[in-house]
Amino acid sequence: MYEEKSTQSGYVVDVFECLPLVADVRHCAERHHDIELAAAGNPVVEATITTGYTTVEFVVRTMDADEISNLFERLFPIQRSLTGDGNRRSLDILSEVTPLNRTEVPAGTSVYDWTVPPEWNVDEAWIRDGSGETVVDVATNTLHLVNYSVPMEATLSFDELEPHLYTLPEMVDTIPYRTSYYERDWGFCLRQNTFDEMDRDETYEVRIDAELDEEGSLTYADARVEGKSEREYVLSTYCCHPSMANDNLSGLILATLLFERIRQSDPYHSYRLIIVPETIGAIAYLHDHERAMKSVDGGYVVTTTAGPGSFGYKESFRGDHPVDTAARLALDSYDYDQYDFAPTGSDERQYSTPGFRIPTGSITKDKYYEYDAYHTSEDDLSFVSADALERTLEIYWDAIQYLEMDRVYTRRQPHCEFKLDRHDLHPTTGGQKHQPAHLGDESHSEHDYGDDETVTTGDVQDGINWLMFGCDGETSLFALAEQSGLSVLTLFRAAQALQDADLIVPVEVS
């Protein structure tokens, strides 16, 4: 939640359910927690948290920057597409981070208005001039070949070859990214400098050793962790882009790391990780899991998360859904770009359609469309950094923890206030609340009104008052925070105190 990220020992736990909370050490200290943290080194962080309520110990497994960089380096050269062995190899690597279930959808399968295309794999693809010198070769950069190019072997004049060549005249040393998924064609992408150097009177040998297998399949992966509540959120990312680091290796890596952290944390809500080729993969997944996905509450499409530029948030079609609130709270201490919803971009297009209406947002760092290197060879490993990905990961983690705290409670009995001192929730001495002469230079919210046996800090007392009013079985903590002006964390702490006293109960527990 802070611009300067703390060390590994900055993880803090929900002291009631052993769930890591949004607050880091400084945030927690502001609320009078006594904290003792011990880092045991990567990839494991051990911590002991002591508060006025209880003490817990927990372990969080993490990846350090070197390990994240290694994932980038292993995944970057792989030829990915809508289908093919490159996608499977990428999922093999990601399965080392978190367990994944894999599904193969046969080519030719109808999924709503779409049909799964033949499986595409390529062994080699190049252009050579008359002297045998290589002009372009997909072995040096996967972007050189138009994705889903059909097999081709011919000797062509420059005039015959030119319609199949793609460049960026305004970025002369950059390879563009182009596809021809559903129109049978072929082509090569090359730097404008290379194109300009080609002899117009020369003949060129072209070879594309590719296969479009009608008996093949489209591969996607998913994983799910069951929570205690009836709510489920999705983390969706796409695996179809070849060698581009921000779009979308960064999303693949971050979503997998984030889900693994959630999986270890015994979450309150349920979470589903979805890794699909963009568009057709999301459509196939929704088709295969239609009933389950119609019950999903919301989620995030994880994309473009590790660039050098600014953070951003593209809101869901609702704009005010809990996923939007959680993301904005997580980004609150950062300068970030706000993007309104539009039915363009990534797989929010599929999740938001009338049959599903799943609100999905995206927290980004150099959002797609917004940076010059987008869909070019300049979106390489030098454009991204493990540090940038880690910072975005922490923001996503904060957003998840806000979602974890957004709960709905009902009172055991709804009539009037509880006699709080009977439950050690109120000081036995009255008359001192909000009294300037008693508080001195201390604020009401920070002041401890009682002893160690009583929940008496002013902010929690205020939260308890609002919860006695608001625990009606319908009002969420997000809604109550907006109405009261109290933080979600303060209300959550107050709710846990009331729940420990058996005065309120969550209503979403299945």
Per-residue confidence band for 443, with pLDDT thresholds at 50, 70 and 90: confident
Do 45 and 78 lie in one domain? The reply is no
Residue 119: other Cβ atoms inside 10 A: 23
Do 233 and 336 lie in one domain? The reply is yes
Q: Quote the pLDDT of residue 430.
A: 73
| 182 vs 19, residue with greater confidence | 182
Per-residue confidence band for 434, with pLDDT thresholds at 50, 70 and 90: confident
Q: Quote the pLDDT of residue 61.
A: 62
Mean pLDDT over each residue of the chain, to the nearest integer: 88
Per-residue confidence band for 441, with pLDDT thresholds at 50, 70 and 90: confident
pTM of the model: 0.89
Q: Quote the pLDDT of residue 63.
A: 87
Do 196 and 229 lie in one domain? The reply is no
Q: Does residue 20 have a cis peptide bond before it, meaning omega lies within 30 degrees of 0?
A: no
Q: Quote the pLDDT of residue 433.
A: 72
Do 498 and 360 lie in one domain? The reply is no
Do 375 and 257 lie in one domain? The reply is yes
* 261 belongs to a structural domain: yes
Do 275 and 147 lie in one domain? The reply is no
Query: Is the alpha carbon torsion for 168, 171, 174, 179 positive or negative?
Result: negative
Angle, helices 386-405 vs 322-330, to 10°: value is 130
Summarised one tens digit per residue, pLDDT across range 314-327 is 999 999 999 999 99
Q: Quote the pLDDT of residue 215.
A: 98
Give percent of the chain with pLDDT exceeding 90.
79
CATH at 289: 3.40.630.10
C-alpha distances in Å from residue 302, one per residue of 127, 166, 235: 36, 29, 7
* 319 belongs to a structural domain: yes
Burial grade of 223 (CB within 10 A; 0-12, 13-18, 19 or more): buried
C-alpha distances in Å from residue 221, one per residue of 335, 399, 410: 34, 23, 38
Per-residue confidence band for 451, with pLDDT thresholds at 50, 70 and 90: low
Do 237 and 106 lie in one domain? The reply is yes
Looking at 195, 213, 231, the residue that finishes a domain is 213
Identify the domain containing residue 184 by its residue range. 122-213
Distance CA 235, CA 479 (A): 24
Summarised one tens digit per residue, pLDDT across range 16-42 is 233 434 333 223 333 323 323 222 223
Do 170 and 105 lie in one domain? The reply is no
Q: Quote the pLDDT of residue 455.
A: 60
Do 378 and 299 lie in one domain? The reply is yes
Q: Are 276 and 107 in contact (CB under 8 A)?
A: no
Of 123, 113, 91, 93, residue with least CA distance to 104: 91
CATH at 144: 3.50.30.90
Of 342, 317, 316, residue with least CA distance to 328: 316
- Percent composition of the chain: helix, strand, coil (DSSP 3-state, to 5): 30, 25, 45
* 2 belongs to a structural domain: no
Q: Quote the pLDDT of residue 510.
A: 54
Mean pLDDT of 163-179: 98
| 59 vs 325, residue with greater confidence | 325
In 3-state terms, what secondary structure has residue 59? Answer: strand
- Residue type, position 508, single letter: E
Do 93 and 45 lie in one domain? The reply is no
Bridge partner list, 409? 506
- Residue type, position 180, single letter: S
Do 276 and 420 lie in one domain? The reply is no
Distance CA 227, CA 406 (A): 14
**pLDDT higher than 80, residue 133:** yes
**pLDDT higher than 50, residue 171:** yes
Looking at 405, 428, 444, the residue that finishes a domain is 405
Summarised one tens digit per residue, pLDDT across range 82-114 is 999 999 999 999 999 999 999 999 999 999 999
Distance CA 499, CA 266 (A): 19
Report which DSSP code applies to 165: E
Mean pLDDT of 492-498: 95
Q: Are 395 and 330 in contact (CB under 8 A)?
A: yes
Q: How many domains does the chain have?
A: 4
Looking at 152, 178, 213, the residue that finishes a domain is 213
Do 365 and 424 lie in one domain? The reply is no
Q: Quote the pLDDT of residue 427.
A: 78
Q: Quote the pLDDT of residue 449.
A: 73
**pLDDT higher than 90, residue 13:** no
Bridge partner list, 225? 271
Q: Quote the pLDDT of residue 239.
A: 98
